[in-house]
């Protein structure tokens, strides 16, 4: 029943939804809700009928003017954290205006709402906190998670992004401060893929933190206890998964985000055949990295199967022993290796991929050796945020005379070489993958997400890079095109899951491109005027003989 209700919702025109949902609300509550607030864009008739006339200045503004004011204020700010606070403040007051500005300047503003600035926002979360977003579930709530979900005001949730805050980007354990990550991810669900914001639910599960600084911080907002690693933790996650599908339906998408590696892999194995779930740190990162390698393959003209790839790190920003998740990929020791430079000299890779979360470990010597070993060395510094990247774009290009094929997890600006050439580095950002995949999964009713879905996404992303962009040094399409990239990816994935028997939403759409585009949320304001009309040629006088 829930699935049928969601299908109806997803295909219903936006205006009818807004009219049905909001005509019952009048007065100041309309202006206090970010979902209904239009600021001074309420028309005179709306102000009079809805009981808000006089509560706003007399001018009726267009959304264009509002967006201009928003953009002008942003341009006056230089501090990224202040920009983040301002942007999130707009989201709390006027949702459609927030997404309009974000979508129109996605290349400039994605680094604010997502990596790298979201990492800074998470570390300062308790100090910049203004209004709660999402659900906060603690281990003390065990046995009551369903009732907490019932407190969430939206009843038709299609996607959940959840973290336990143990491994926030490359910053480590931030506990409940990790809420900034699900909020940022879901902003990109909407901005990049047009998934309705009211269908998205950010969640942080608080089981404590091992961050001593936070445990001593009076501004910290979570439980003052060390992280619980007992069976109670597993039981809590089990209860959470069961409660979500019980409340919202079996095909509700649940994205795991920034769990510690030891939990991330085992939860993926445990839940992937029981729920509609994926882990972006594992599958999303692998998909975007593969897309970059496929693009590099085009640039070099050498099949990916002939490349030798050397990885640095396991994504946690701290030393760790090889675990069972990595054993299948471990090779015999090539000899005496005391450093990453030794490994490069011994193994002679064609590509190095950094996921260490530990900063500048691709030293100048490492980069120079890669340039000596390969005509077009592939160097991916994928750790986030920027200060955790294994090297900078400038180092990679200048130390290889502009020959390397570079990508990073966080953004770097164009690099000007000594000969005057300007190279635009690629950003191997998971945002190229997870919004489009999520949109396809939601629309097609996928119940279990196979790794083949992420392989299809990687191929689709690589195919969207033009020859001209490849010549410019890019390995990914410009971020300014990310919404169209996400739409095309969603179309391809929808085609893929239907053709491979993974979709459970029927009837299958014939024109999948039109189907996907018709369901995407947009930022235009809706009219809140009631639906009024005349009854022509109707008499209300009784009949006379």
Is 348 a catalytic site residue?
Answer: no
Contacts of 38 (CB under 8 A, 6+ apart): 63, 94, 96, 525
CA dist., res. 438 & res. 278, Å (int):
10
Radius of gyration of the chain (CA): 25
167 known ligand binder: yes
Is the alpha carbon torsion for 194, 200, 202, 205 positive or negative?
negative
226 known ligand binder: no
Q: Which of these is catalytic: 38, 96, 185, 388?
A: 185
* Partner residues linked to 135 by β-bridges: 203
CA dist., res. 200 & res. 10, Å (int):
13
Q: Are strands 159-163 and 253-256 parallel, antiparallel or unpaired?
A: parallel
Q: Are 486 and 192 in contact (CB under 8 A)?
A: yes
List strands edge to edge, sheet with 309-312.
309-312, 351-354, 378-381, 405-408, 426-427
CA dist., res. 411 & res. 409, Å (int):
7
CA dist., res. 372 & res. 6, Å (int):
56
Q: Are 314 and 355 in contact (CB under 8 A)?
A: yes
Angle ∠(333,335,341) on CA atoms, nearest 5: 95
Kindly provide the b/e burial profile for residues 513-542, where b requires at least 16 CB atoms within 10 angstroms of the residue's own CB: eebbeebbbebebbebeeeeeeeeeeeeee
19 known ligand binder: no
Distances (CA, A) of 426 to 336, 378, 471: 34, 12, 12
258 known ligand binder: yes
CA dist., res. 184 & res. 202, Å (int):
9
Backbone angles phi, psi at 205, to 5 degrees: -105, 115
93 known ligand binder: no
Is 185 a catalytic site residue?
Answer: yes
Q: Which of these is catalytic: 114, 189, 233, 498?
A: 114
327 known ligand binder: no
* Assigned token pair, 147: 């009732």
Contacts of 261 (CB under 8 A, 6+ apart): 167, 314, 315, 316, 320, 323, 325
| Helical pair 95-104 and 106-113, crossing angle rounded to 10 deg | 120
**Which residues are part of the catalytic machinery?**
114, 185
Binding site listing: 167, 257-258, 281, 384, 429
Annotated binding site for (S)-malate: 167, 384, 429
Binding-site residue positions for a divalent metal cation: 257-258, 281
């Amino acid at each position: 029943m829930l699935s049928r209700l969601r299908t109806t919702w997803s295909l219903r025109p936006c205006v009818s939804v807004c009219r049905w949902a909001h005509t019952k609300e009048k007065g100041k509550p309309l202006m206090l809700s970010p979902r209904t607030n239009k600021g001074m864009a309420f028309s005179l008739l709306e102000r009079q009928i809805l009981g808000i006339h006089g509560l706003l200045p007399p001018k009726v503004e267009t959304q264009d003017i509002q967006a201009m004011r928003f953009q002008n204020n942003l341009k006056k700010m230089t501090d990224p954290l202040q920009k983040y606070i301002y942007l999130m403040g707009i989201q709390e007051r006027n949702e459609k205006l927030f997404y309009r500005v974000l979508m129109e300047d996605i290349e400039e503003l994605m680094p604010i709402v997502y990596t790298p600035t979201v990492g800074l926002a998470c570390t300062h979360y308790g100090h910049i906190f203004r209004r709660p977003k999402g659900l906060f579930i603690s281990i003390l709530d065990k046995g009551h998670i369903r009732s907490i979900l019932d407190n969430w005001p939206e009843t038709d949730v299609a996607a959940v992004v959840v973290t336990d805050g143990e491994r926030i980007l490359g910053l480590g354990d931030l506990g409940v401060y990790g809420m900034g990550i699900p909020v940022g991810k879901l902003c990109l669900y909407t901005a990049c893929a047009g998934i309705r914001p009211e269908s998205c639910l950010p969640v942080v599960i608080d089981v404590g933190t091992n961050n001593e600084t936070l445990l001593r911080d009076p501004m910290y907002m979570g439980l003052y206890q060390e992280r619980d690693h007992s069976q109670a933790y597993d039981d809590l996650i089990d209860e959470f998964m069961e409660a979500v599908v019980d409340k919202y339906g079996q095909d509700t998408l649940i994205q795991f985000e920034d769990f510690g590696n030891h939990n991330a892999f085992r939860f993926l194995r445990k839940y992937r055949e029981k729920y509609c779930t994926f882990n972006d740190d594992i599958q999303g990162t692998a998909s975007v990295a593969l897309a970059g390698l496929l693009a590099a393959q085009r640039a070099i003209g050498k099949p990916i199967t002939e490349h030798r790839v050397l990885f640095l790190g396991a994504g946690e920003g701290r030393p760790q022993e090889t675990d069972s998740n990595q054993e299948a990929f471990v090779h015999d020791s090539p000899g005496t290796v005391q450093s990453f430079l030794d490994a490069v000299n011994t193994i002679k890779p064609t590509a190095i991929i950094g996921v260490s979360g530990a900063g500048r470990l691709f030293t100048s010597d490492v980069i120079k050796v890669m340039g000596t070993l390969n005509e077009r060395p592939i160097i991916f510094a994928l750790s986030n945020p920027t200060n955790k990247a294994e090297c900078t774009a400038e180092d990679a290009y200048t130390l290889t005379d502009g020959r390397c094929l570079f990508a990073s997890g966080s953004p770097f600006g164009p690099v000007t070489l000594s000969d005057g050439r300007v190279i635009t580095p690629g950003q191997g950002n998971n945002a190229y993958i997870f919004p489009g995949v999520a949109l396809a999964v939601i629309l097609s009713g996928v119940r279990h997400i196979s790794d083949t879905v992420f392989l299809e996404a990687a191929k689709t992303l690589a195919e969207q890079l033009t020859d001209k962009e490849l010549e410019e040094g890019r390995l990914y399409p410009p971020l300014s095109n990310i919404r169209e990239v996400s739409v095309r990816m969603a179309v391809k994935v929808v085609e893929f899951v239907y053709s491979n028997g993974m979709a459970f939403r029927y009837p299958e759409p014939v024109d999948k491109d039109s189907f996907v585009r018709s369901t995407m949320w947009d930022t235009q304001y809706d009219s809140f005027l009631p639906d009024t009309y005349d009854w022509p040629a109707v008499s209300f006088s009784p009949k006379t003989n």
